[in-house]
Amino acid sequence: MKLTTIILAAGKGTRMKSNLPKVLHKVCGRPMLEHVIDAARNAGSEREIVVIGSGADEVEKSITDVEFALQAEQLGTGHAVKMAKDKINDMEGTVMILCGDTPLVSADLLEKFIENHEQTKATATVLTAMMPDATGYGRIVRNQSGSVDKIVEHKDATEEELQIHEVNSGMYCFDVKALFDALEKVTNDNAQGEYYLTDVLGIIREQGLLINAFVTNAFTQILGINSRYQLATAERILRQRKNIELMDSGVTILDPDSTFIDYDVEIGRDSTILPFTYLETGTKIGENCSIGPNCRLQNTKIGNNVTMQFVYSHDAEVDDDVVIGPYVHLRPGTKINKKVKIGNFVEVKNSNIGEGSKLPHLQYIGDTDMGTNVNVGCGTVTCNYDGKKKYRTTIGDNVFVGCNTNLVAPVTVNNGAYIAAGSTINQDIPENNLAIARSRQVNKPAWKDRRQQ
């Protein structure tokens, strides 16, 4: 059976106090709506229709590979589902309805939910959970036989109904035809003046059709995000899942509570992640690495046997057997090759650092192509910008750069060259030459005595 999913993502999210549409707020490094889409696809959905409204243009620009239906006026969940009707008019079978602000739902739970719906041959199945604090959630009201009688929204519930702890997740499986037939009969006669999707269940029951409820014990998976605090709660739960997944695969995380790893980060076995490390989207780390403490890596590729501490790296690549830190900044376009050592207070930008080279401390290396086994002295700067354009510096193999050297690009330092400390180099240096570009020292005798006269 081909499964289509409708994802409701039209709400304003006013409690977020944000100009960003609620479903685009990131959890564990990606918009919460993308978490829901992925869970649906991994559970077997072959087509996803996202109903958008508030911030529709921004959502369309940010989310790809889905279809969109517009809910121009937010008149309730039932009205939102109706906006997708034209896109599935000819469809038969089952449609799953999810909420775009429930990023904690897993593919495993949805797969079991769909399987239960199909096995029971129900016309409608609602995913429910036993919630310790059910405030704000619709309550599941069961009849004497234990089957679902109706769902009552929190604001419409009686005192007795408010004592119920089984809540509606807002996630459903429906027979397509029965769903849209029932939606035509839904009214907005309620406290909110909205067309509730939950009213569909009562209409289906009146027709004598089967309504099923699939109860999950994992109530955290149905949590919706309506505030910054709830966003932080979801963030903590998803990061915990990610940390457990990595540790189960052979990664050591010394303190999971102070380690922050995005959903798509990959780490090889026997690597160790130390506290206060942030590994963000697009980052991949090899085996036997030690990363941290206090590293922040964004879209950074790390090889095997790499040690990094107190490093900020973004859009960079580090090869095997490299030691970096502390207090190092790797900027976009940087490639650090094998066996390089980078010490404290070094910044490298848009540069290729050759195998076995050393940047021990206090250097700025920008727009540079550096060969193998180069030793760069303390305080060296590649001067890559003349106020209008940026130029590259080329350094060959086995070069020795003395302390406090300025390399004024464009300039080439050929293989085996030496540069005397304190030089400002603005001309190419031939192979195996020593370059000295500083004023000759002059000592003035009795200088102190004359000054004091």
At residue 141, φ and ψ (nearest 5 deg) are -100, 120
Angle, helix 107-120 to helix 32-42, in steps of 10 degrees: 50
Question: Which residues make beta-bridge pairs with 424?
Answer: 406
Q: Which of 328, 75, 137 is CA-nearest to residue 127?
A: 137
* β 30-31/45-52 pair status: unpaired
- Tell me the Ramachandran region of residue 239: left when phi exceeds 0, alpha when psi lies from -120 to 50, beta otherwise: alpha
Reduced to 3 states (helix: H, G, I; strand: E, B; else coil), residue 366 is strand
In this structure, what are the phi and psi dihedrals at residue 294, rounded to the nearest 5 degrees?
Answer: 55, 55
Following DSSP, what letter does each residue of 364-419 receive, concatenated? EEESEEE-SS-EE-TT-EEE-B-SS-B--EEE-TT-EE-TT-EEESSEEE-TT-EE
Report the C-alpha gap between 437 and 408 in whole angstroms.
Answer: 12
How large is the C-alpha radius of gyration of the chain? Answer: 31
- 165 given a catalytic annotation: no
Sign of the Cα torsion 143, 178, 190, 155 reads positive
Residues ≥6 apart with Cβ < 8 Å to 317: 300, 301, 334, 335, 336
The active-site residue, picked from 154, 165, 329, 361, is 361
Please state, in angstroms and as integers, the Cα–Cα distance from residue 196 to each residue in 75, 95, 162, 404, 442, following that order.
9, 17, 18, 71, 89
What one-letter code names the amino acid at 34?
E
Query: Six-digit token pair at 384?
Result: 């890559």
SS3 88: helix
Long-range contacts from 287-294, C-beta under 8 angstroms, 24+ separation:
292/259
Name the 3-class secondary structure at 431: coil
Beta bridge partners of 126: 172, 213
DSSP labels, 162-229:
GG--EEEEEEEEEEHHHHHHHHTT----STT----TTHHHHHHHHTT--EEEEEES-GGGG----SHH
CA–CA separation, 299 and 310 (whole Å)? 17
Which residue numbers are catalytic? 361
